[in-house]
Amino acid sequence: MNAPKAIDLPQPSPRDTAPAVTWHSQMPDDKAMLRAAVELTRDIATARPGLYWADMLGSAVVGYGALAGAILVGNPLVALLLGLFASLVLYRALLFIHELAHIHKDALPGFRFGWNLLVGIPMLIPSFMYEGVHTQHHARTRYGTIEDPEYLPLALMKPWSLPVFALTAILLPPALLVRSAILVPLGAVIPPLRTLVWERASALAINPQYRRRKPEGDFARMVSWQELGCSAWALSVVAASAAWGWRPLVIALCVVSLTAFLNQVRTLVAHLWENDGEAMTVTAQYLDSVNVPPPALFSGLWAPVGLRYHALHHLLPSMPYHSLAEAHRRLSDHLGETSTYRKASYPGLTPLLGRLARSTMKVR
6 within domain boundaries = no
2 within domain boundaries = no
In the chain, % of residues over pLDDT 90: 87
9 within domain boundaries = no
Q: Check whether 11 has a pLDDT greater than 90.
A: no
What pLDDT, on a 0 to 100 scale, did the predictor assign at position 27? 83
356 within domain boundaries = yes
**237-273 pLDDT, tens digit each:** 999 999 999 999 999 999 999 999 999 999 999 999 9
**178-217 pLDDT, tens digit each:** 999 999 999 999 999 999 999 999 999 999 999 999 999 9
The stretch 158-167 carries a mean pLDDT of 94
The stretch 106-113 carries a mean pLDDT of 93
116 within domain boundaries = yes
What pLDDT, on a 0 to 100 scale, did the predictor assign at position 9? 40
**77-109 pLDDT, tens digit each:** 999 999 999 999 999 999 999 999 999 878 899
Q: What burial class does residue 102 get, using C-beta atoms within 10 Å of its C-beta: 0-12 exposed, 13-18 middle, 19+ buried?
A: buried
Number of domains forming the structure of the chain: 1
Q: Which of 323, 321, 343 is nearest to 332 (CA)?
A: 343
Structural domain for 98, as ranges: 14-361
7 within domain boundaries = no
Round to whole Å and give the CA distance between 313 and 319: 7
Is residue 155 within 8 A of residue 273, CB to CB? The reply is yes
Ranking 1-15, 30-44, 61-75, 228-242 by mean pLDDT, the lowest is 1-15
8 within domain boundaries = no
What pLDDT, on a 0 to 100 scale, did the predictor assign at position 297? 87
Give how far Cα 122 sits from Cα of 85, 115, 154, 257, Å.
Answer: 18, 10, 31, 14
Q: Which of 292, 207, 295 is nearest to 3 (CA)?
A: 207
178 within domain boundaries = yes
